[in-house]
Structure 1
Amino acid sequence: MNFYQQLGFLVFGSRLRRLSETFLNDVNKVYKSHKIAFDASWFPVFYILSQKQEASIKEISEEVNVSHSAISQLISNLQQKGLIKSTVSKKDARHKVITFTAKGEKLLHKIQPVWTALETAMEEIAGSSAESKKLLNALTSMEKRIHQKSLFERIERVIES
């Protein structure tokens, strides 16, 4: 048993971060090895637009549960790269929506096979044990509980009691 496994929940966030960094680094290696100019951090915006064709910054922010300003920065970066654009909504002229440019659409078609391969590879990793198969449900449960009451609030309650 290694250091992180011995400490259990005390280092849970660190283990998740390490695992996330490993996944993102490997996915970015795949993009690079296939000469696809894409970064895994762009995934949420690309995926949402691939499903909806257009979305406001607010919609994207709410869907991925990331701050409006963080999504705005990501959108600005993608606009500078010529991958997405901001246009007036066809449904409501008072609102702006984000859509793909032709360059963004072309990139989307290049990355979709990587997404399919990624999903297959992750299912293979998770399918290797009964515990792994339960992981997504456990994460969802933890996310819901943290949304109800933050880790900060829970720690403070224990310290103050």
Structure 2
Amino acid sequence: MSFFDTAGKMAIGSRLRLLTEKITEDAGKIYALFGVGLQPKWFPVFYMLANNEALTITAIAKEIGHSHVSVSKIVREMVKHGLVKEKKDKSDGRRNMVTLSAAGREVNQRLSEQCVDVGSAIEELSASATHNLWEAIGEWEFLLEQRSLLRRVMDQKKKREGQEVTIVPYSRKYQQAFRDLNEEWISTYFKMEAADYKALDNPKSHILDKGGIILVALYKEEPVGVCALIKMKDPDYDYELAKMAVSPRMQGKSIGWLLGSAIVEQARALGARNIYLESNTMLKPAISLYHKLGFQKVAGRATPYERCNIQMELIF
């Protein structure tokens, strides 16, 4: 069994690189076969110049998807071999225009026969294959442009790790975690206030005994996130979403989303008409999460917290 059969999709980069190297090696030999003095890496730049009277390096780089530095290097190499020349733009002396030289135009004439035979060889190869590689490359390029491989791996990592998170009801054994997790994030950005100590030191009497709920997120049985639903004595609002905290070590595992979704479902099951919350706009990930859960900004209300500068509601 080959290395690629064993390593599987993890080795996609290595496999594509080997395929590219094999084709590039043959491309160099094909140029020699036809007596065309080109290097394979020059072809995209050469092709653009062969089909345009003159172009700037910036324009070439944009069209072929290379960096400006890469194209500049290739142009310098081609100038050295006498295939292209640079001259000042008559309308803008600050930029150089690149054109094929007389030798470059001669190479372009010899290249036409090579292109015919290469095209026919690729067609023959494609006809012998089960899958159309050219079309597949186009599909992959499009899909990766929409969402990169890195982004896709990050999403899969978050999904996998999220499956190891369980949301459980609060019990006394989680009291210290409830306090520590909240104190950690509050102290990182703000300062602990009197209203914080009331809820965190006495969650049973301050939250649970008054008809509220606390949920705890466990990651591999370790409490790493908490969130409370506090019963409000307010004619406009039934519950407040409060005391949501996730350990900084556990960021990126969808724990905030799982906790928030679970607490919203708890409120819905209790027949709540709405949920209210208070936050601070400097906590951008939190605000983004609340919007994702369906919360919208509301007009300012009286608050016991100095750090609050935004209030939001979710209406069922």
1:107 equivalenced with 2:107 (yes/no):
yes
Give the SS at the match of 2:128.
coil
Q: What is the percentage of aligned positions where both structures have the same residue? A: 28
Task: Write the deviation string for residues 40-70 of structure 1: whole angstroms up to 9, x where unpaired.
Answer: 1110011111112222111111111111111
Residue 126 of structure 1 deviates from its aligned partner by: 0.8
Residues in 2 aligned to 1:8 and 1:138: alpha-carbon distance in whole angstroms:
19
1:111 positional shift: 2.3
Match of 1:12 in 2: 12
Residue in 1 that maps onto 2:157: 159
Task: Work out the CA distance in 2 between the residues paired with 1:125 and 1:6.
Answer: 27
Between the aligned partners of 1:14 and 1:121, the Cα distance in structure 2 is 25
**Which sections of structure 2, spanning at least 5 residues, go unmatched?**
159-252, 254-316
- Specify every segment of 5 or more residues in structure 1 that has no aligned partner in the other structure, as ranges: none
Give runs of aligned pairs for residues 138-149 of structure 1, distance below 5 A. 138-149=136-147
Aligned-partner residue type, residue 71 of structure 2? I
Q: Where do residues 94-133 of structure 1 align in structure 2 (5 Å cutoff)?
A: 94=93, 95-131=95-131, 133=132
* Worse overlay, 38-47 or 140-149: 140-149
**Structure 2 residue 25 is the aligned partner of structure 1 residue 25:** yes
Kept after mapping to 1: 8 A contact 2:34/2:110: no
TM-score, scaled relative to structure 2? 0.46
Distance 1:125 1:50 in 2: 27
Number of residues of Structure 1 aligned to a counterpart in Structure 2:
158
Aligned residue type for 2:82? G
Measured against aligned partners, the alpha-carbon deviations of 1:77-110 in whole angstroms (never above 9, x if no partner) come to 11122211112346x4354321001111112222
Does residue 63 in structure 1 map to residue 63 in structure 2? Answer: yes
Query: In the TM superposition, what is the alpha-carbon distance from 1:74 to its structure 2 partner?
Result: 0.6
Query: In structure 2, the residue corresponding to 1:137 is in which secondary structure?
Result: helix
Find the aligned partners of 1:122 and 1:8 in 2 and give their Cα distance.
Answer: 27
RMSD over aligned CA atoms reads 2.1
**What's the CA shift string for 1:9-42, capped at 9, x where partnerless?**
2222222111111111112112223443221111
Corresponding residue for 2:279?
none
Structure 1 stretch displaced more, 149-158 or 62-71? 149-158
SS in 1 for 2:37: coil
* TM-score, normalised with respect to structure 1: 0.85
Separation (CA, whole Å) in 2 of partners of 1:156 and 1:85: 45
The amino acid that maps onto 1:100 is L
Between the aligned partners of 1:50 and 1:2, the Cα distance in structure 2 is: 42
Q: What amino acid sits opposite 1:93 in the alignment?
A: D
- What is the match of residue 86 of structure 1? 86
Alpha-carbon distance in structure 2 between the residues aligned to 1:22 and 1:32:
16
Query: Which of structures 1 and 2 has the bigger CA Rg?
Result: 2
Q: 1:5: Cα distance to partner?
A: 4.2
- Report what 2:195 is aligned to: none
